Each structure stands twice: as C-alpha cells, then as structure tokens.
Structure 1
Amino acid sequence: MDKRPELAAGFLSRLRAILPPKAVLTRPEDCWAYGYDNSRRHSLPQAVAFPACHEQVARIVDACNQYRIPLTARGRGTNTVGATVPLQGGLVLSLERMKKVLEFSPENRYLIVEPGLTNEEVQAIAGSRGFFWPPDPTSAAYCSLGGNLACNAAGPRAVKYGTPRENTLGLRAVTGAGLEIRTGVRTSKGVVGYDLTRLLLGSEGTLAIITEATLKLTPLPEATQTLRAVYRSVLDAAEAVSKIMAQPIVPCALEFIDGNAIAMIRGHSACDLPAQAGALLMIEVDGPREGLDSAAAKVAEAARNDGLLDLRIAATRQEVEALWQTRKALAPALRKIAPKKINEDVVVPVTAIPELIEGLNRLSAKYKLPIINFGHAGNGNIHVNLLLNPNSPEQSRKAQDCLDGVFTLVLALRGTLSGEHGVGLEKRDFIDRELDANALELMRAIKRQFDPNGILNPGKLLPPG
C-alpha cells in the first residue's frame, strides 16, 4: 500500500473541529478509494474531508494554508485525465455531500445549487419547471456538477447550446489563499470587472474551490427529430457536417463515428448498416413542434451528397431507439475489447476532420495499435481511442509514442488538445506545444495570485515553470 508521512496533529485537530467525526477519514484503507479517478491513476491521500457547506470549505482551506497541506477538490471521480488524483497526498476535499438547492428562479431562468449534485439531478430539478441546463456529458447520471464546471465539460448539446462557460452566470468560491469570492451576475447581461466566472470554469480546481453555481437555464424544447446518415467515407461525412453547420437550422446533436468504429461494432453486435459504410452521423434537431418536420427536412437536405448511402428519419420513439442502437453499441464493444483504452478528446476545425482521421489511421498502422474515433462532429470534438494492453510494456511504450504523434497531428491541423476532458496530468506536459511561453507565464502568475502557497491541486494543468 502507498505510504506517506502522517499529517500534522495540529492540522488534524483543526479539521476535526470543523467537521463532525464521520466527515473526516484518515485510515489508509478508508482513504484509498479517493486516490483515483477514471484515468486509472492512483495516489493515496492522507485524509479525506466531506464538507457540507461553503463556510466549512473556507475554514478547511484556511487550515490547509496554515499547515501547507496539499488540497485536491473532488466530485465523483469521473475525470479521465488524472485531474482529481492527489499527486502529493495531503487532503482530498470531497464535495459530494454539498447538494443543496439554494435558489430556483424560473421567472429569471436561473438555478443556484451546490456542486455535489449530479448533472442528472440538476436536469431533473430544472425539468420540473420546464427548463434544462444545456451541458450534458455522457456520464450525466453520475458525474457531479462541480466536476462539469471544473473541466468545462459539455457533451453533444454543446454544438447548439454551448459549454458551462456559456451557461453559468456566476459562482461562489474559496481561492487557494482562503479568500471568499462571488463572481458573475444573476442577469443575462453584465460587464462589471474581469470575467472571473469564465476564468474559474475549466481551471480544474487549481485556482479556487467552487461552492455554489448560478446556472443559466434554457426552456425545454417541445419536440426533437432524430436522423441517421451513413456515408461511404469520412470525407463524405465531413462534407455533410460542414453543410449542416452552414445552414440556419442548428442541430442540438451532431455525432460522428468512423469506419474503424463501425467495423468493431459489426463484430460485437447486430448492425443494420450498409456493407460499404465508412462513417456515420447521428443528428438531432429540436424546437417547437410546429415546423420541426420542416427543420429536419432542411437538415436532411444539407446532409445529402454523392457519398450518402442511407438516410433515415425516425417517426416514433421506437425508431429513435433503433437509430441510436449502433452508436450505443460502441461503448460496450470498446469495454469488451480494451477495458483500459486511452481516450483523448481532441478538437480540430470541422473541415480538418478527414485529415485528422487519415492521419490517425497512419499512426495506427505505424505503431500497430487499433484507433477508434467518434465524437461531436458539429464542433470537431473527436474522441480518439487507442486500444492497447497496458500490461504489455511494449504496447504501453508504443501508445505513448503514438499519443505524441496524435497531439502533433492535431496542432498541425490548427486544433486544440482538449475539448472537454481537461488537461489534468495526462496532457500537462504537452500544452506548451499549444500555448506560447508568455501565455504560460501569465497563467502561472494568475495561479500564484489565487493560490500563493500552491496548495490547490498541485502538479496539474500547467507544466512546471
């Protein structure tokens, strides 16, 4: 078992004075589960704390500053890049018990909640009054709101509705220095001061601990229409994506899977796709019920080109489920083939998707590693899955070299290294390829201003200076 020096007795006394006995864990066997996230990395914390309110968080951060204790905030541990792994041990601050609804104002279209609620719970609360919060990660049933905010995690609906940065009005937080701050507004417009709300969103817990969020709500659409388009090649699918995104009807989801993914699905589930299928688009259109058929028809027309093999529009709920069956079969098939795959979420301009897939196929052949690609085509956010056996040292070495090639390819195509998974530890040492030295030093200066003692999530996001 991972061994670390014990925390100072004075710090533990402070911690136990702030929280009730069952809200503090110190035994290694109790803390073990809080040392990992979905990146499969692990580092044992020396203690885990479960605050129940903003005031407790503020007092805990103050104690960590006094004793120089590394502090890692955590939601449900669904992060895939190691952003919630406590590299230096110290204290893990689990916000899972902070689940209060503080204010719900449907008339003003906002909802103020604590970060421990899951995305699905937030949607249920908003949905009870006819609204929704647009960010919808695939892990919505179990990922926390705080984690969504920390990584600016979005999901399929981002193509139309945007990410947390476009759908969060304000925050309450505690900086690494222990300062309590409120950012943003409760109105749809506001330009007073610097935009600290957007700065904190996506900062992965390195600047402040978010304790409350004012979420901007959107009315639920009256209806949706689902389409599935199958193409001969990725080039044909990308051409369709560009045409779809260039016409006035913006789809609420525009999902993509490549030929490699289709071939894998064929081997592990029933698949009703044409034999020549080289790429697939799943498209959803939402809005008022009146006129939605016409909107779907316009999107369908934009999706047509010479490479289109099959286009279907669902007329019933059963048909919707049938059309999504192929896409839903992908995750189980991947888990069966490579339960410890590497999943990266890169983004390129939509027009560069064919070059990206072609380049990934070359890397796959060079390193003899299968690569499966799918994702959010409408904004070029592609999930690149390297399938490997991590117990093989040779494959692990090849995977790291291949990953280096993936990032080089993405940047050459004027893309970015992450769309929604974040940077964490997995991508930390690559971001100086995307950001210049001056930009990185400004970011380090911001980190020092918010967190002068460097206690918040140390070792993450920014490469060492």
Structure 2
Amino acid sequence: MLPLEFINQLSELLPADRIYTDPVECYTYAYDNSRKIFPPEAVVFPLTTEEVVAILLLCNANKIPLTPRGRGTGTAGGSLPEKGGIALSLERMVRIIRVDPANRVVVAEPGVLNQEIQTAVKPYGFFWPPDPSSAAFSTIGGNLATSAGGPHAVKYGTTRDHVLGLKGVTGAGEVIKTGCYTTKGVVGYDLTRLLIGSEGTLAVITEATLKLTPLPEKQGGLVAYYCDAISCAAAIVAIMGIPRGPSALEFLDAGSLNLIRARFPDLLPSNCQAMLMIEVDGSQTEISETIHNILYACHNSGLLQAEQVINSENLWKARKALSPLLRDIAPKKINEDVVVPVNTLPQFLDELTQLATQYRIANVNFGHAGNGNIHVNLLINPDDTEENYRAEKCLNEIFDLVIRLNGTLSGEHGIGREKRAYVDKEIDPTTLTLMKRIKQLFDPNDILNPGKLFP
C-alpha cells in the first residue's frame, strides 16, 4: 500500500481526475500484450514535462517505483508495473508541437499515436518510417522505448534511425535534452540513441524530434510461393543480395499460411508451404527494374510460383491478422522476435524445425525476413505443466542457436521482463556491468521501471 501522506502529496501535484487509486481503475494499467498482470497501486496522468519532474522527485523522496507507459501494446512486459508503485501513463501527452517540412522534422509528445504522426505529415509529402503492426494504436513514446521497426525496416531502418533529439526526465528527476534539431550534429555523446530502446529504465521521454522521409513516388508488390521453408529462405538470401532491393520482405511459414487459409480460404495456393510478400518503392522506372531483378532472384528448385500483384491490400491485411489469429488458437504462446544474419536464415529455419520436433512443440514462424527478423511463436497449453517445461527448454536452445549464428535476442519487441533471464547469453559480464552503472547514473534510487532489461 502506498503511504497516505504520499497520496496526499501526489494530490497536490495533479487534479483528482488525473490520479487513479481505485484498484478497479488501476487494473486497466496492470497488463500489456504479454498478457501478464501486475497491478499498480496508483496511476497518474501528467500533461507536461514539469509535472513529470514533480512526480519523479516525489517518488524519489519516498522510494516509490514508477513505471512509464504508453498504450500497453508491447509484448515483452516492458511497461508492466512489476514492483507495484506508480504507473506513469503518458497517454494524455498528445500534442504534435510542430510540423516543419523545410527541415523534414516533426516534434511531438510521447502520447501521440504513430498513425497520427503519419496523418499529420502526409499532406507535406513525408512519412515517419517506423511502422509496427500496432501503428494505429501504439504511441511514439512506446515506439521509442523499444526502437520499434516493422515491415519497412528492411529499407528504412528502425526507430533509432529516425530520431534527431529527445527531451526527457531522468530517474533522478532531472530534465535532459539530447541530440539536436539538425540532421548533422556531433556535439557530446549520443544520448539519443542510448535512450531509444532503453524501455523507460533511464528516463521518461516527454518530447521527441523526429526525422521525416519523403513518401515514395510509387509502390509495387510481388508474391512468391514455395514448396518448403528452406527454399524460401534461400530466395531471401538471393533477394537481399540485390543492390536495389525491396522496401518490405515478409516471410510466412506453413503454420502461418494455414492460419490465413482458415480466415481467407481462396487467397493462397493449396500446395504452398512457405511464402514471401515483397514490396518495392521508388519511381516507376526503379520499380520495374527492381521487380524484374527480384523475380529472377526468387527462382530456385523450390519455387512454385512468383508474380507481380496489382493490389496487395488483402495480402497485407492477412499478414497483419496473424498475431490476433494466433491468440485465438493459442491464448498462451511464447512469442519471440529474434534476428539472425540474413545469409544464415536457411540454417536457422532448418534447426528451428528440428528443435520444435525434438521438444514436440507446435510453432508458427513469420516476420521481417529482409532484416533476418523472425517472429517465432511456440504454441502451448497453459494448463499442461510438462508441455510448458518442454517449451522453456526449447526456447533456451533457440536462443543459443540465435547467438551461435551471430544474431540477437530481440529485434523490435524489447527485453522487458520476458527475456531478461537470457540477456547474458548475448551481453558479456563486463559490458553488462557498464550498462548497470549507466542505469545507476540516470536512476540512482532504482525507481524507474525497476527490474527490467537485466538478468
């Protein structure tokens, strides 16, 4: 229970309609898309940087844990108030402060939705490239917290590549400004890239200066169907070797295709066991040349069919429906967004199949293959203790495989609480110790999203 004196002091900082202490109201902020539940003891809704400072100083004085939060669309448990205390919801900080087309910049508060940014800058001929599947619901703050990616990261990169500067409040309650307003700037350490992906463990981001990209002139689409996943993976390696490659390259395995067939019966060939969804963009001349080169790269012994599609809207709708469809058939799933070098994808998918078979775990795999970013979904019965044990053993070996192939444990979902036990597979003790020292410097009382990221 929070001390009554603390609640009274909190009430002096914010009006009553921006403080929740009723357990029923707080429960809404107890979970995210990881489906784990950790109720906070209070939820607060700041509107300004100054209010965030005041809240953090009060929490510091009372050693009260504070967990920053956007809309709770994350899958790694990064926004769960695991230690109780305060959930700091930034969902009401929703101002788009400035759209500056001459400098290709938009300045926004963390509660603005990704899609709202796209809508605001599109009339000027620009877009903000990070495009997670939750773009319509996820906030800019959440995208920054995990360095969100999405299908178009293969050409445009992830969130880290599209932020010029930040304003934030450290765990000690100090306001910091990182980066600059210009696309060139090398003054001081790059704290902007440090904060992006730190999952709210170092500072609460209250303002972001985002770098915009011109909208492509045109877009084109292709599909390629394969008789097996290994042939499909070999095609991915060939496609990514093309100098002017795709703007999106999505891989779907047999399990994914079966889910789509159940929802969209006439969309896919019946004998297809793996599929690529490919998008290209640029001028009409560039698109024609790129499509020609990609169609050539698609050809191998496992190819069933490869063709250009005039309207890929239904395909993308089916792709985005995969995660909800998985939830329907497997309320309990282990969802991992591992990344391996593209040229190792055939080996990764082959050994992944062997592990799933060895441990007798159903799995469905899809993802942003152009980056080597595969979403591995282990489907398990939450009431079967023995199956859960086998799944954990399987997952541990999957992570070992990823590291052996020079990959990384997370491409865009973050570490949060779900993957923290495995972090030392990837990060050596010396580097991990340095990271913990950085955390202590930003957050000396360890109140800011405590317990996340580190084993």
Normalising by the smaller structure, the TM-score range is over 0.9
Report the AA paired with residue 166 of structure 1.
Answer: D
Q: Is 1:373 the equivalent of 2:368?
A: no
Give yes or no for contact 1:314–1:323 (8 Å, CA) kept in 2: no
The correspondence for 2:374, drawn from 374, 382, 389, is: 382
The correspondence for 1:216, drawn from 207, 211, 232, is: 211
Counterpart Cα distance in 1 of 2:15 and 2:322: 44
Counterpart Cα distance in 2 of 1:12 and 1:266: 53
**What is the deviation of 1:286?**
0.8
Percent of counterpart pairs with the same letter? 53
TM-score between the two structures when normalised by the length of structure 2? 0.96
Give yes or no for contact 2:336–2:410 (8 Å, CA) kept in 1: yes
**What is the deviation of 1:206?**
0.4
1:408 maps to what in 2? 400
2:108 maps to what in 1? 113
Counterpart Cα distance in 2 of 1:307 and 1:255: 17
1:186-197 correspondence runs (5 A): 186-197=181-192
The correspondence for 1:288, drawn from 283, 288, 291, is: 283
Counterpart Cα distance in 2 of 1:75 and 1:326: 26
1:329-368 correspondence runs (5 A): 330-368=322-360
Counterpart Cα distance in 1 of 2:428 and 2:327: 37
**What is the deviation of 1:272?**
4.5
Report the AA paired with residue 438 of structure 2.
Answer: I
The correspondence for 1:140, drawn from 113, 128, 135, is: 135
1:427 maps to what in 2? 419
1:71-82 correspondence runs (5 A): 71-82=66-77
2:167 maps to what in 1? 172
**What is the deviation of 1:368?**
1.8
1:1-40 correspondence runs (5 A): 5=1, 7-40=2-35
The correspondence for 1:240, drawn from 227, 235, 242, is: 235
**What is the deviation of 1:168?**
0.3
Aligned residues: 455
**What is the deviation of 1:294?**
2.7
The SS at the match of 1:440 is helix
Report the AA paired with residue 125 of structure 1.
Answer: A
Report the AA paired with residue 146 of structure 1.
Answer: G
Deviations 1:60-105 (A, max 9, x none): 1111111111000000011111111111111110000000111211
Give yes or no for contact 1:227–1:323 (8 Å, CA) kept in 2: no
The SS at the match of 1:455 is coil
1:418 maps to what in 2? 410
Counterpart Cα distance in 2 of 1:117 and 1:324: 24
Report the AA paired with residue 339 of structure 1.
Answer: P
Counterpart Cα distance in 1 of 2:341 and 2:106: 33
The correspondence for 1:85, drawn from 80, 87, 90, is: 80
The SS at the match of 1:128 is helix
Distance 1:15 1:81, change over 3 A: same
Deviations 1:13-71 (A, max 9, x none): 22111111100011111111111111111111111000011111111111111111100
The SS at the match of 2:182 is coil
The SS at the match of 1:41 is coil
TM-score between the two structures when normalised by the length of structure 1? 0.94
Counterpart Cα distance in 2 of 1:53 and 1:153: 24
**What is the deviation of 1:243?**
1.9
The SS at the match of 1:449 is helix
